Structure 1
Amino acid sequence: MMVLFYFIGMSSAALTFVLQHKVKMNVVLASALPSFCLALLFYFMEVKEENLWLAIVFTASFVGMSATNFKLHEIILGGAISTALLLNMPEVNRGLGGGMGTSAFIAVLLTFGLRTLYQKVVKKAK
């Protein structure tokens, strides 16, 4: 089940990024559309933990809409990080302006830091 949570988080971040940058959709609509489609599907289907699914999708869509200079694989990594943060650190996020936004913010910062670190290591290796 956890693998499916991570897959849906990475897919949501990627879908939001693609809708915004490739389809040229409004950033707010690109973020809300994946969550809306999933909520509509859940309206017609009985699903366990539907609020958790929607929280993962919405949090990952924050990552997809926030990073304009990232590449798609970096957005997918950010979606995985935001899902991990949302699933594993709910107590830490309380009182910081909301768990979803905080998880997405930390995920974008970590992804940017990992990209910078990778670029420095590759540059040093050459």
Structure 2
Amino acid sequence: MDRKELFEKKPKIKINDKISWCPTSAAMELIGGKWKSVILTHLTVTKKRYNELRKEIPGITERTLSLQLKQLEADGIVNRKVFTKKPPLKVEYTLTDFGKTLIPILKLITEWGLFAAETKGEFLFEEN
């Protein structure tokens, strides 16, 4: 079934046992919220360890970061790889192939965020 036919039939979409009435809602079920796209943007460049993500995203709490990473992993967007069997564990997070399909979208969101800041806001720089 092609996209035009899908839109004409207006099917409901089920992801994670949640029913969505449109594709945008279905997408936001996977990547919506305050932190998921931020985490994913940091993973577009290279693999990251938990503490690296924590340092690069200053406003996020440890609990939130952990929960969001678990959700992204459960949804098949992020891969979690453990490198040692005994503490301290070395864990790295990367985008899965499915997650990598988000890279162009995340880049556009970043560009639009810069445009919004230039148009509607301002850039604040910390003085040393």
TM, length-normalised to structure 2: 0.28
TM, length-normalised to structure 1: 0.28
State the structure with more CA Rg.
2
With a CA cutoff of 8 Å and minimum separation of 6, indicate the structure with the bigger relative contact order.
1
1 or 2, which has the higher strand percentage?
2
